Amino acid sequence: MVRFLPAPLIGMLSLMVLVLNTLFWAVPLFSVALVKLLIPLPAVRQRLSALLTELAERWIAVNSWVLRVIQRAPLQVTGLAGLRHDGWYLICCNHTSWADIPLLQRVFAQRIPFLRFFLKQELIWVPLLGLAWWALDFPFMQRYTPAYLAKHPEKRGVDSATTRRACEKFRTRPTAVLNFLEGTRYTAAKHQAQNSPYAHLLRPKAGGMASAVAAMGTMFEAILDVTIIYRDGPVELWGLLCGRLGRVVIHIEQRPLPPEWLNGDYANDPVFRAAFQAWVQQIWEEKDARIGRELALD
């Protein structure tokens, strides 16, 4: 019934429910996070981390329900068989829309561990959400441009070190780490500026993935190669809230983590770096071809 309301009204109602849901769960989440901050005992902190994750899963479950109610078309998802809620997974995915993360949270809920993803350092200042991400041990990244690194070579490798430190926190509990290898959402302008060799994707950046593999590679059961395809075109945040999201295909492929990637030095070994990048580029070529085949069906 909600879907038959005017889109702006759906958007306002959805936004109101999501804000109220966030405020509701923020109180217990921040309370537990404060206790965790004040108590230095590792065993206690591990228990509190588990409680924080449970609270976050309930928060996200309500958000997912709201978005499912207003979506015009059902999701088409393949590849969920065999996933475990108590496993360790590294997820690599293309990045097209603000809708990507809510969709992934909805698809993977209770099928794999609570989804954590790499965030730009500036996002810690987002009201409520920034503190929530910090409390839940989301890894914040300080990315540097090539021009900045040319002037400050001492900053090279800082991103990788940050990734390793963040991933070390996850060694003691089942975790799913999401990495958008493109580093930013796809747009036609970015695609042209990059002179991307892919028809539907930006160039992948392998460094963050290599750092996650170096920190936790022996624990990851599989790489979940996720491809999100918006058959009716992507929507941004307001379009998502207004129920304008059309047909979406999500394909999940479990890939084994090649053992030769576990002990390499991506930052300092150019041979290893070139081989790792070639492997990532092969994954991206297959992903690009899959998107092309799916879009050709229309």
Distances from the Cα of 268 to the Cα of 160, 247, 274, 288, angstroms: 12, 44, 11, 30
Rounded Cα gap, residues 216 and 16, in angstroms: 39
Q: How many other C-beta atoms can be found within 10 angstroms of the C-beta atom of residue 68?
A: 12
pTM, two decimal places: 0.87
CA atoms of 133 and 130, how far apart (whole Å): 5
At the topology level, CATH places domain 74-296 in Glycerol-3-phosphate (1)-acyltransferase (3.40.1130)
Instruction: Establish how many alpha carbons lie within 13 A of residue 281's alpha carbon, considering only the half-sphere containing its beta carbon.
Output: 10
pLDDT at 145: 59
The whole-angstrom separation of Cα 45 and Cα 26 is 19
pLDDT at 148: 59
Torsion-angle region of residue 79: left (phi > 0), alpha (psi -120 to 50) or beta?
left
**What's the pLDDT score for residue 154?**
63
pLDDT in tens, the chain (298 residues): 566 788 889 999 999 999 999 999 989 999 998 898 888 888 888 889 889 999 999 999 999 999 999 987 889 999 999 999 999 999 999 999 989 999 999 999 999 999 987 777 777 788 777 878 888 888 777 665 566 556 766 666 666 666 667 667 777 788 898 989 998 899 999 999 999 999 999 999 888 788 888 877 788 889 999 999 999 999 988 999 999 999 999 999 999 988 888 888 887 889 999 999 999 999 999 999 999 999 998 7
Distance CA 220, CA 256 (A): 9
Residue 157: predicted pLDDT: 60
